[in-house]
Amino acid sequence: MKMKISQFSRDKAARGALAAAAVVTALAAVIAIIGASSARAQFGDDFGESGSSYPYHVPLGLNPPPVPADNAITDAKVALGKDLYFDKRLSQNDTVSCETCHNPMMGWTDHKPVSTGIHGQHGTRNAPTVLNSAYNQQQFWDGRAPSLEKQIEGPVANPVEMGFSLAGAAKRIGGIKGYAPLFQAAFGSPKVTFDRIEKAIASFERTVLTGNSPYDRYVAGDTKALSPQAAAGMALFFGKANCDACHAGKNFSDGDYHNIGVGMNSKHPDWGRYLVTKVEADRGKFKTPTLRDLPETYPYMHDGSVKTLAEVIKFYNQGGEKNKWLDPQIRPLHLDDAEQAELVAFLDALNGTQDQVAPPKTLPQ
């Protein structure tokens, strides 16, 4: 049943923003059929529904992010999660934290084509931004993690990222006296488990939101918020350029996977979603990323191969990179230079206002 609901929500998102009334009616129908409040945790982005409530400020243009029913968000969890996010002791040799690759000063990513982890080792994929990752239905470029909580197990145990083990990390943190009162406040006992570590970090990540961009202010009625060039780009984005076939909804992602051809001409392509599903048709598919705050999150694409937004638009204009599995929505766009510049101006206008997050002054000792 849960699968069905999430598929339902994704299909809707893929068709672009629907009239809220239609969504509510459809939602009501589904909920009536299954009569389960547990299913509510599945709704994100355009549905503004979640398993437990979201008590913090939500920037203009977004709905409150979904919060899983088994991990209610509290000040104590967010504060603990923030310390852990910036704590290098979560890596095997105290050299790498989440911040190393997802730095708030760099759009919550690292400005490198592929990240550098423990012992200076390189991975094969570009670090996506943590901004608005709370709205992703699945995490990672290939969607192999079902939640923000589970995602955290990836980097901690990855030999080229933090090079540790979940048990090792929990033991290390459990041995730091200063953390005990924080776990007590967040979970009702000082016991440190990896389950609690990931719940706390995920809670912190759910507060890392970006919205209130010129585009959001324009949609909210401030007609001067977009330059004429950006407004023309917006018309292209939702029209002739067909971008919203995939970059749909308030976070500009349908949550689905597509092959647009990036890296497909390499000798050993990254097969993306196929590696998770083993379904032939999924070869070369990657998760549609958000388009918010792009000026902060360069370089672009799963392999970090594209440096500028102008190059991204050029890539789409030529019809992506031809390959056997290319998405049928990707085709030559025949945009002239002025139109391409308009699209870039629109993408720039999706740059939002983030709450500044400074690293903790001191970490628990």
How many Cα atoms occupy the beta-carbon half-sphere of 55 within 13 Å?
9
Among the listed residues 64, 155, 249, 255, the single contact to ligand HEC using CB under 6 A? 155
Closest among 211, 91, 223, 230 to 158, alpha carbons compared: 91
Q: Is 162 in the site for ligand HEC (CB under 6 A)?
A: yes
The amino acid at residue 158 is N
Q: Is 316 in the site for ligand HEC (CB under 6 A)?
A: yes
Question: Cis omega before residue 299 (within 30°)?
Answer: yes
Among the listed residues 62, 173, 186, 330, the single contact to ligand HEC using CB under 6 A? 330
Q: Give the nearer residue to ligand HEC in terms of CB position, either 26 or 244.
A: 244
Q: Give the nearer residue to ligand HEC in terms of CB position, either 67 or 301.
A: 301
Closest distance to ligand HEC from the beta carbon of 221 (Å): 24
Q: Is 282 in the site for ligand HEC (CB under 6 A)?
A: no
Which contiguous run of DSSP H or E holds residue 198?
A: helix 194-205
Question: Cis omega before residue 68 (within 30°)?
Answer: no
Which pair of structure tokens corresponds to residue 168? Answer: 């090792």
Q: Give the nearer residue to ligand HEC in terms of CB position, either 30 or 78.
A: 78
Among the listed residues 294, 345, 349, 350, the single contact to ligand HEC using CB under 6 A? 294
Q: Which residues contact 256 (CB under 8 A, 6 or more apart)?
A: 10, 13, 14, 246, 287, 288
The DSSP code for 150 is H
Among the listed residues 87, 161, 339, 342, the single contact to ligand HEC using CB under 6 A? 161
Residue 99 appears among annotated catalytic residues: no
Residues 310 and 37: their CA atoms lie apart, in Å, by 45
Q: Which residues contact 274 (CB under 8 A, 6 or more apart)?
A: 280, 282, 283, 284, 285
The site map against ligand HEC for 186-205 (x = CB under 6 A) is: ---------------x----
Residues of the shown chain interacting with ligand HEC in the complex, contacts defined by CB under 6 A:
96, 98, 100-102, 115, 117, 123, 125, 127-128, 130, 133, 136, 139-142, 148, 151-152, 155-156, 161-162, 201, 241-243, 245-247, 258, 260, 262, 286, 288-289, 291, 294, 297, 300-302, 309, 312-313, 316, 327, 329-330, 343
What are the residue numbers of the active site? 161
